[in-house]
Amino acid sequence: MTDVVDADELLRRIQRGREHAAEAERAWRERAQSLTPTDPEGAREAAARAWAFEAVARVLKEIVCPGGPPSAAEGVKQVT
């Protein structure tokens, strides 16, 4: 099945994907924090899933805003 979409619809779909990835990342991070005391292995798996959703969100952000300034979380310092 192939849908033909215009640029506006494609942008809306990418933005929905970014929102979903950000929500899923938050949920997995919270789960990792709650599991840490009782289930270290489960906490590691939840943290890995959070990192995966973080990566997806970053890629989709780069598609929407190519070459934008890096976020503080990325640890990149601007040299003047």
pTM as predicted: 0.75
Residue 77 lies in a domain: no
Domain that holds residue 43: 7-65
Q: Tell me the mean pLDDT in the region 3-8.
A: 85
Residue 72 lies in a domain: no
Query: Would the pLDDT of 71 be above 80?
Result: no
Q: What percent of the chain has pLDDT over 70?
A: 84
Residue 13 lies in a domain: yes
Q: Identify the pLDDT of residue 77.
A: 54
Please state the domain count of the chain. 1
Residue 74 lies in a domain: no
Write the secondary structure of the chain as one string of H (helix), E (strand) and C (coil): CCCCCCHHHHHHHHHHHHHHHHHHHHHHHHHHHHHCCCCHHHHHHHHHHHHHHHHHHHHHHHHHCCCCCCCHHHCCCCCC
Indicate the pLDDT class of residue 5, thresholds 50, 70 and 90.
confident
Query: Would the pLDDT of 75 be above 80?
Result: no
- More confident site: 67 or 28: 28
Residue 70 lies in a domain: no
Residue 32 lies in a domain: yes
